[in-house]
Amino acid sequence: MQRKLHHMASNQPREGRYMEESILDNQPIDLVLASTSPRRKQLFEQEKLRFRVLSAHVDETLDADLRARPFDAVQKLAEKKAHAVVNAILADENYRGFLVVVGADTMVARGGEVFGKPTSASDATRMLRALSGTSHYVHTGVSVWYCFAGEHESDFSLAYRSFTDTTRVTFRQLSSLDIETYLATGEPFDKAGAYGIQGSAAQFVQQLDGLRSTVVGFPMERFLHEFADVVQRVKLS
C-alpha cells in the first residue's frame, strides 16, 4: 500500500473519515515521541504514558524571516520533526494501526535575539551574561499527528494539530562565579539558552510566568488537557 502524506493547515484539527468513526475508539494507540531529548522523555515517563522514542532527522535551518519569529519557528520545526517520523514509520508498507506522533521544539528569545544551544564554553558564557538580570521568553512548539492505517489502501487517514506555549523567565543578576560554576557542571551545553531549569540553573530564576514544563522542553500540562483523548488511552495501569 503506497501512502502519500499531504501538508495541511496547522491552525485547526483536520479529521478524515476514519477518524470520525467509532472503530478508532477500540484501536490501541502507538504513541511515538519524535525527540531523543532526555528531558522530554522524562516528562512522558513521569506521566506514566506508554510510548516509544524515534529520532527525527530533519534540517533545522530556518530562513531569516522565520527565525525572527521564534513563536512560529518552534511550531514549524515541531511539525517537521513529527512529519519526518510519520514518514519513516509509514515507509514500512506493512504498518497497520493507529499512530500518534508528537514532535516538539524549544527556543529561548530576548529582545529579538534567539539563543540556541551553545557551541562552546565562551558561547554559553555570552548567553548567560545576556540573560542575567533580565526577562526572556521560552517558546515550545508541539505538533501532534494522528494517522490510521488499515488493511486496505482506502483505510487511511491523517490529521495533525499544533500549538506553541510560551513562558516568561526572569533571571536574577548572575556573577562571574555563578556562570563559571554552572559551566563546570556541563549542564548548559545541550540546552537552548545554555541552561536547564530542571537542574542547578533553577537557582538563577527569580520569577516564572507560565508553565515550568515549557521551559524544560514540553508543556506537559497543556498537552494532557488538549489531547486528553489520547492520554487516557496510553496511560500505564
Question: Which residues, listed in sequence order, are joined to residue 113 by a DSSP beta bridge?
Answer: 110
As a whole number of angstroms, the distance between CA 8 and CA 161 comes to: 9
pLDDT value at residue 162: 97
pLDDT in tens, the chain (237 residues): 455 454 443 333 333 333 444 445 667 999 999 999 999 999 999 999 999 999 999 988 888 888 899 999 999 999 999 999 999 999 998 999 999 999 999 999 998 899 989 999 999 999 999 999 999 999 999 999 999 988 877 788 899 999 999 999 999 999 999 999 999 999 999 899 999 999 999 999 999 999 999 999 999 999 999 999 899 999 986
The DSSP letter of residue 151 is: S
Q: Which CATH architecture has domain 17-234?
A: Alpha-Beta Complex (3.90)
pLDDT value at residue 8: 40
pLDDT value at residue 220: 98
Domain limits of the chain? 17-234
pLDDT value at residue 87: 95
For the annotated catalytic residues, the residue numbers are: 105
Instruction: List, in order, residues 6 or more apart from 192 with CB less than 8 Å away.
Output: 106, 107, 108, 115, 116, 117, 138
In a 3-state reduction of DSSP, which class is residue 109? Answer: strand
As a whole number of angstroms, the distance between CA 120 and CA 125 comes to: 9
Instruction: List, in order, residues 6 or more apart from 141 with CB less than 8 Å away.
Output: 73, 74, 75, 76, 77, 78, 79, 104, 105, 106, 162, 163, 164
pLDDT value at residue 151: 82
As a whole number of angstroms, the distance between CA 211 and CA 147 comes to: 29
Closest CA to 83 of 49, 59, 117: 59
pLDDT value at residue 237: 66
